[in-house]
Structure 1
Amino acid sequence: MRTFDEIYAIAVERKGGAGAVEAQMPTPKASDEIKAMGDDRILAGMTRAIFQAGFSWKVIDNKWPGFEEAFEGFVPVRWKFMSDDDLDSLLKDKRIVRNGPKIMTVRDNAIMLCDLDDEYGSAANCIADWPMDDFVGLLEMLKKRGSRLGGNTGPYCLRFLGKDGWVLGRDGIAALIREGVVDKAPTGKGAMRAVQGAFNMWAEESGRPFAHISRTLAMSIDA
């Protein structure tokens, strides 16, 4: 397995210079910034990632103001009690994408966020304070306790919210395979722990956030 500096050098060569690489780096938020977010913004971020999964991101982006109106600002304590009448109304609401199973995730994830509020003071506190050397544990928690937050939906949601972490697209997975971290797309717990170990090592070497390591891995693969 190469060092981060070696992988970064490959990305720089392939992208035409360090400036081109750095221009594509995400900017994670500080923990205090995430904690300052209301849990309504956490639920909104989850819902946006869920609706974008397998769908046109541009369509969801264009319709998002309508989502905010239809879901009344995504206050979790409101939507944990989603009624049948609420669902019927939303299924007829042209301001949103009328996908019943995805609409129901708003209720299920609102329940999770209210539970996290009871446990941590807010769901934002839980996400902000989750240790990076167990990022895989945060992903597993969202997958188990939430609705439709498995796969890359959870990582994308966290990226939208500003939480540092990885998003493993096709190129990122190809780089992990090249480096011998995994031998195929990581889905099982053992493979995900191997990914965690590699990211922990590269972060310690470089002082970089996981988001930068993730993006560098992807940029080190020929398009």
Structure 2
Amino acid sequence: MGNDLITPVRAAFPDYRALFTRLADDLSRTPLFVVERFSLGEPLSPADIQALERETGYELTDDLRAFYAQMNGLNLKWFLDPAISDADREAFFLEFPDMDVENSSDDYASAAIRILPLHDVLTRDWGKDVYYEPDMGFHGQPLSVTDFHASMRPFDLFSEYRTCILAFREKRNPAVFLLDDHHAVWDDSRGTDVRSYLDFLLATRGQSDARKRWLSEYGGYDQRVRFSR
């Protein structure tokens, strides 16, 4: 074939419903952990997804459509059992020194996933919850406050302190970004694609600090990273 380039074909979309169910089951079987909640939304039909896109004007990626066709939202929170002995706690942190999973509050949950139903992602009024200086721009472009809030759609509201959004460009080509410090710091996050983000959640069991270590980089909003299990 000479110098012809071969475009790689990306693997079929994984069965995330089964993968997250298995994750929750594994956490529940671990005596050191408490799984406070786990639920998966009912799948959306292609017609339901297309109707929401038409209604709101947002154009989803194929991976987002595939995800919501498996589950219309995901809710998981777990933490280290506060009733375990001091010896068990010490042994746990000696084995996993970077795993901060003791905070069980919703405000600062150490390990949680709360991916919103698609209707909430595309229509929820939450602009007042996000800090923005218009002169800073977004995606390297200046945006009005209204346009900025329209471009940043809530996606994984795993705590009040940190959350992950879908950042759109003119209601297209969304990337996942991390908002930190009560949604006040958004430009120190690198972006990633939806499949990478889901794979990362599975690999790290939804740990909040792991998201920050992976995505945070000073002025990183114009960078993109990928993750594969």
Same fold by TM-score, threshold 0.5 exceeded?
Answer: no
Higher strand share: 2
Bigger relative contact order (CA 8 A; separation at least 6)? 1
